[in-house]
Structure 1
């Protein structure tokens, strides 16, 4: 039984009710009472407060065969907006979503600098533009989450971004001096995992998400929380050694997983072998369609090494769901079946292995969703990309 002072209990009840309204999209007071086991009096008081705050709205159903038309509750999705920022090498992406996580505005800017002060000015400038665009909503921008392609501490300090050459940068503290909006800094792979849980896999609390683009990014949700490790640096699976004495890696070791399963490594190899400088996915697809033996053999090898690292991850964390994000996996026929064929250990347990349905947008959508979660103060969100 939960105990505590009245304010604490009220906060918990509010979180339960709001979470169910978001999850169900439309729900009656009676049904909220059933699914939360809260009394109707408690529901009425909490709903009245949420209506007054403009966070929820009432809708009367027009079609009801028998009895009174029920009054349905739903989140006021235009009451505020969340801003996700994906800070990557060479590009900064911005997405504004409503309170149900649906993107309403997106843009990106190309950058040809790694200088922190220059990039900082660009971020502030664009945040201010988005803030101005949201002034007519009740709560404006409710939170900003910035995705970092590098190590982020539990205190949300950027410890290291390899491609930008940044060390120990407190972007959060700097932004809080200039912008009066809650700011959160998070690792990009964690946000990808969060997006997969929030938008696609509602029935799991334990999820691993792995992307294989420029390197290997692994995000882990355990008991619906980020699994971050002691300092916040857990998940650097790309640097586990799968080939002792193998290819040299920028981290200083040899034989790291990402040297064998990142799309960058595949592109680099094919560019060299085929003597093509600016290789595209379309070109690789053409070779696959034409039955190019060399390309098929390379992708088969890519899948083999991917399965080796995946087997290690599954054995270490025993996840419920494993989500993979790679354009090469989408392009290659039966790629998941081929990976499963190499996951034949009798102690390798997971329920579902899938290719991401969200793709490259998962990072920035995860950022928007995390801002919403903090604002609504709910334990978890179940959102949809369908309006």
Structure 2
């Protein structure tokens, strides 16, 4: 039983009601009362407030059955919009979503600078353009959530971005000095893990209560969800799996150590080796698919080596965290036949325990999708979020 003042109880009830409306998409007041355990008077007052705020709307379904048609409640998806940003190396991806997770638009811009001030100015201009574009709605562009490929503290200050060599920068503060919008700065892998939880693994509690999402892209990062909480560690820097040392006498990494996992199992490593051995510059994902389909022996040999190193790191991570579901987000593994099975064949430890290893269906959009979902959760104030993935 929750004990507290009236305002606090009202806030909890509101959160629960919104959560169930999102989950069921359409639901009557009577069913809300039944599912939540709240009495009809409480439901009535809360629904009235939400209608006044344009956060929900009412509909009567068309059917031919005898009796009065129930009034169904749904989230007013166009009341406001969320901007998700994936701030990668010389590349920024933007996705706009409505309040039920429909993705309205997706854009990517490329740039050449590594200068912090220039990159920040570019990001600011893009955010302002989206604010103007979505100002027509009741709440406009509600918030902007930015995913960073580096360590982000619990105070949302960026500690370090290896690719840029940026250290101790406060992107949130620098943007807020010139922008009037709610901002959240978060690690990209954490946002990707949140996306997996919200869109693909929300209900299976046994496997998804401890969900680990590993991004194998330009680098390697991991996000961990325990129930509906991001596990960020003491200061917020957990999940930097790419800088786990798997070969102490290996090549030098930008983080300062030698033999980091991402020097063996990130996508650029595979691309560079293919380019060198095939004497083919500028290898693309399409090239890799074609080489795999043609059963090119060099490509298959390099994939065997690549999968071997993926399995080494994955075995270490599983031993550390004992996850339920492990989600691997990798375009190259998705292109390779039976990649998961081959990874498992390289994991022969009797100690490693997990429920399931799967390939992500969200791909390179996982970070921005998770960013939009986190924006929705914060705005609506719900503790759990269940959304459908709309491509």
Q: Shorter-chain-normalised TM-score: which range?
A: over 0.9
Q: Does 1:268 align with 2:267?
A: no
2:181 corresponds to: 181
Q: Give the superposition deviation at 1:64.
A: 5.3
* CA displacement 1:319-347 (0-9 Å, x = unmatched): 22111111221111111111222334344
1:122 corresponds to: 122
Q: Does 1:20 align with 2:33?
A: no
Q: Show structure 2 runs of 5+ residues with no match.
A: none
SS of the aligned residue for 2:145 comes to: strand
Q: CA separation in 2, counterparts of 1:172 and 1:385?
A: 28
2:59 corresponds to: 59
Q: In the alignment, which of 302, 307, 332 is matched to residue 311 of structure 2?
A: 307
**Is the contact between residue 242 and residue 255 of structure 1 (CA under 8 Å) also seen in structure 2?**
yes
Q: In the alignment, which of 360, 369, 374 is matched to residue 370 of structure 1?
A: 374
* CA displacement 1:56-113 (0-9 Å, x = unmatched): 0111011152422111111000000001122122122221110112111222222111
Q: CA separation in 2, counterparts of 1:66 and 1:321?
A: 46
2:95 corresponds to: 95
Q: CA separation in 2, counterparts of 1:241 and 1:320?
A: 24
Q: Give the superposition deviation at 1:198.
A: 1.0
Q: CA separation in 2, counterparts of 1:136 and 1:249?
A: 47
SS of the aligned residue for 1:178 comes to: coil
Change (3 A) 1:36 1:145: same
TM-score between the two structures when normalised by the length of structure 1: 0.96
Q: In the alignment, which of 275, 288, 302 is matched to residue 292 of structure 2?
A: 288
Q: Does 1:246 align with 2:250?
A: yes
2:209 corresponds to: 205
Q: CA separation in 1, counterparts of 2:123 and 2:267?
A: 28
Change (3 A) 1:261 1:55: same
1:86 corresponds to: 86
Q: In the alignment, which of 329, 335, 358 is matched to residue 354 of structure 1?
A: 358
SS of the aligned residue for 2:376 comes to: helix
Q: CA separation in 1, counterparts of 2:38 and 2:108?
A: 45
Q: Show structure 1 runs of 5+ residues with no match.
A: none
Q: Does 1:232 align with 2:236?
A: yes
What root-mean-square deviation, in Å, do the aligned CA atoms of Structure 1 and Structure 2 show?
1.6
